[in-house]
Amino acid sequence: MPPTLISPSENDYIIRGVDSNIRADGRGRLDYRQVILETGLITQASGSARCRLGEGTDVLVGVKVEFGAVELDGADEDVAEIKAKRGRVICNVECSPIASQQFAGRGADDFNNELTQMLDRVLNGPQSGLNLEKLCIIPGQHCWIVYIDAIVLDYAGNILDTIFMTTRAALYSTRIPKTIIQERGDGEIEFDILDDVEECERIEGWDKVPVAITLNKIGSRHIVDATPLEELTTEAKLLVTVNKDGKVCGLQKSGGGSIEPSLLIDMVQTGRSLGQSLIQSLDEMLQREENDINLKRAQKERKLGFFAAT
Amino acid sequence: MSGDRRRIQGPEVTVAPIIIKSTDREKIQLKDINGQRRDGRNLEDIRPIFLKTGLISQANGSAYIELRRTKIACGVYGPRQTKIPSFSGRGNLNCEIKFTPFSCLKRRQPYRDAQEKELSQLVYEALAPSIRLDLLPKSTIDIYISVLENDGMASCFAAAITCASVAVADAGIEMLDQVAACSASYIDGDIYMDSDLVEEQRESGSLILSYMPSLNEVTHILQSGKVEVSLTTQAIEQCTDACSKIYSVMNHSLLESVKNKIQ
């Protein structure tokens, strides 16, 4: 269960450590814990991924692509026209009671809502990088709706970064069924969704999905990837979401402290450069995993009979 | 006509209705050749603010803010005793923001939805660093913000923070500094300060900044949309400048209310 109280001496110990660039577990201020990422775990989902950060934080994301109606808004005519030709993304984050006793029952409601809104703010819109136009089946009528559901299985600090990393990997593994559109002639359009597992397309723009870097202000310095105790010492947190091209896709401050403007800009720059290198290493990990799978498929497996292996 | 009502006595040939699309309607220009916006402002100008305190007699402190078509009222109750018997060395700050059903373009549900819950959390994060909660153990301060008319979500949220800060000061609660907040939109590579609803719909990103001018500290920042870092930096600077201007308006209104109380 993550600690909710911290003693003043522990607090002081962490602040001094951060100041000297040595944290409690030996890392530097800008070092991440080890990331273990795997995709394609859930057969019923269109895409899925699980990420484990160090020995703690564990997040599972399932992506389900479902057929639905286009968003018809009562807004400005031009905006409504754009929205009619797009697919949609609907996010949801849930902290499972497995992760901590304080998440049992309605305890996690506010926290879930906060995380969902943060995820939604980045993924709903052009800044998500996903090609939403490609998700439209019939303009003005039907489209693909991408449901992204994240479950937090274990909590050991730095939850948002993990959620974003896992979401990105899940979108990488997401396959959208192909649709064949036929025009019936009298203005009616018919479409068919192919059931074949092999006839699937990868979701376009997954590589442009941003990752999040949470910078924690401790004392006069900032650190990334905080452990629960370090999070309790944090005065203010800044969430920087950045994509592969180095564009900042979102900024959000949280916590009860304040940040000086020049330090704020400094943190944004740090977050941006860290984000880009994180994306690079994540992509390498995903590529390696795919290569391993392809290698296994290529090798002819020695087939044993049903009860041959005893 | 009597007889079988299940038989529709309609014409044999039906034709779909003709809907005339206004194709010759010009796309609304957000700024003209001189860089002037639709209401005559420059890109870096904020809307004129009307700020008054003391409108809610039952509350310990209250404020009302108006930015052209954005109208927000805020009431502060506290410090009062925390009902839950658990001890806490610091005071509790409880913020609730509510959009009235008629405030936005589309009618909002009367019950609190997810967006309002999140905005309430953000208001807390923006105001908490400025209030001396450590001087109020076992107490709670309740801030209730009611949005009466909403002309742009980002600027509405910023105005709500400004209004709440003034209301807390009006309640006589000790603070480190006032929190002024303002918003900016990124449209086609330009930064439009304090954008209204029409401008907001064309934006590719928005920034809301809450700032304590005397202490030179940012209490809250929220940016959405894909933006270059250089543009973000520029927007942060413009917002801090605008916040300093808002600060003087806040101080003026508080001074006026003190003068009225003395008389």
Strands B205-212 and B180-187: antiparallel
Counting residues of chain B whose pLDDT is more than 90, the rounded percentage is: 61
**pLDDT value at residue B208:** 95
For residue B92, the chain A residues in CB contact (below 8 A) are none
Distance from CA of A41 to the nearest CA of B (A): 30
Q: What are phi and psi of A294, to 5 degrees?
A: -65, -35
Residue B2 has pLDDT above 60, yes or no: no
Using the beta-carbon criterion (under 8 Å), do A248 and B224 form an inter-chain contact?
no
- Residues in chain A closer than 8 A to B217 (CB atoms): 258-261
Q: Which range (B22-26, B157-161, B220-224) has the least confidence?
A: B22-26
- For this complex, say whether ipTM is above 0.90: no
- Please give the residue that has the higher pLDDT: either A275 or B18: A275
Name the nearest CA neighbour of B200 among B155, B242, B149. Answer: B155
A30 CB-contact burial (10 Å; exposed 0-12 / middle 13-18 / buried 19+): middle
| Interchain CB distance below 8 Å, A259 and B217 | yes
Q: How far is CA B232 from CA A276, B196, B227, in A?
A: 17, 20, 7
A127 to chain B nearest CA, in Å? 5
Q: Between B74 and A309, name the one with better pLDDT.
A: B74
Q: What pLDDT is stored for residue A310 in this prediction? A: 46
Choose from B119, B218, B233 for mutation: most chain A CBs within 10 A. Answer: B218
Q: Is A28 on the interface with B (CB under 8 A)?
A: no
Per-residue tokens: A125: 């819109």
| pLDDT (0 to 100) of residue B21 | 66
Chain B residues lying within 8 Å of A127, measured CB to CB: 205, 224-226
Residues of A in contact with B211 (CB under 8 A): 261
- C-alpha span between A128 and A101 (Å, rounded): 33
C-alpha to C-alpha distances, B27 to A73, A289, B6, nearest whole angstrom:
18, 49, 48
Q: Could you tell me whether strands A88-95 and B217-227 are parallel, antiparallel, or unpaired per DSSP bridges?
A: unpaired
**What is the mean pLDDT of each successive set of 10 residues along chain A, which is 310 residues long?**
76 93 90 90 89 88 89 66 81 88 80 90 85 83 90 89 94 86 72 74 87 92 91 92 91 89 92 93 91 81 56
Instruction: Classify burial at A232, counting beta carbons within 10 Å of its beta carbon; exposed 0-12, middle 13-18, buried 19 or more.
Output: middle
For helices A159-172 and A109-123, angle between their N-to-C axes, nearest 10 degrees: 50
Cβ contact, residue pair A250, B114, below 8 Å? no
Q: Is A250 within 8 Å of A127 (Cβ atoms)? A: yes
A 244-273 residues inside an 8 A Cβ radius of B = 246-261, 264-265, 268-269, 272
Kindly state the average pLDDT of the residues B204-208: 92
pLDDT at A87: 84
Q: Please tell me the distance from the alpha carbon of residue B143 to that of residue A138, in angstroms, as a whole number.
A: 47
Q: Which two tokens stand for residue B152?
A: 């742009």
Report pLDDT for A1: 40
Instruction: Say whether pLDDT at B41 is over 50.
Output: yes
Residue B25 confidence (pLDDT) above 60: no
Which residue among A75, A117, A258 sits closest to B218, beta carbon to beta carbon? A258
- Closest residue of chain B to A273, computed from CA coordinates: B229
Domains observed in chain B: 38-85+92-262 (3.30.230.70)
pLDDT at B5: 67
Q: Where are the domains of chain A?
A: 8-299
User: In chain B, what is the straight-line distance between the N-terminal and C-terminal CA atoms, in Å?
Assistant: 78
Contact check, Cβ <8 Å, B225/A125: yes
Asked whether the beta carbons of residue B232 and residue A248 sit closer than 8 angstroms, the reply is yes
Determine the Cα–Cα distance for residues A112 and A108; give it in Å rounded to an integer: 6
Strands A88-95 and A142-154: parallel
| H/E segment holding residue B148 | strand B139-149
Are A117 and B128 in contact (CB < 8 Å)?
A: no
Is A108 near chain B, with CB under 8 Å?
no
The pLDDT score that the predictor gives to residue A218 is: 92
Find the residue in B nearest to A268 (Cα).
B229
Residues of B in contact with A7 (CB under 8 A): none
In one-letter notation, the amino acid at residue A190 is E
Tell me the C-alpha distance between A103 and B225, whole Å.
31
Please give the average per-residue pLDDT across B177-191, as a whole number. 93
Reduced to 3 states (helix: H, G, I; strand: E, B; else coil), residue B218 is strand
Q: Which residues of A160-173 are buried (b: 16+ CB within 10 A; e: fewer)?
A: bbbbbbbbbbbbbb
SS3 A94: strand
Chain B CB contacts of A255 below 8 Å:
125
Alpha-helix runs per DSSP H in chain A: 8-19, 77-83, 109-123, 159-172, 228-233, 261-298
Distance, in Å, from the CA atom of A28 to the CA atom of B77, rounded to the nearest integer, reads 45
SS3 B97: strand
CATH code for the structural domain at A8-299: 3.30.230.70
Omega of the bond prior to B79 within 30 degrees of 0, cis? yes
Mean pLDDT, chain B, rounded, equals 89
More confident residue, A84 or B122: B122
**pLDDT interval class at B261 (50, 70, 90):** confident
DSSP bridge pairs for A251: A240, B223
Q: How confident is the model at residue B206 (pLDDT cuts 50, 70, 90)?
A: very high
Cα(B40)–Cα(B6) distance, integer angstroms:
61
pTM value is 0.83
More confident residue, B216 or A180: B216
- pLDDT number for residue A210: 93
- B208, B158 in Cβ contact below 8 A? yes
A residues 80-99 near B, CB within 8 Å? none
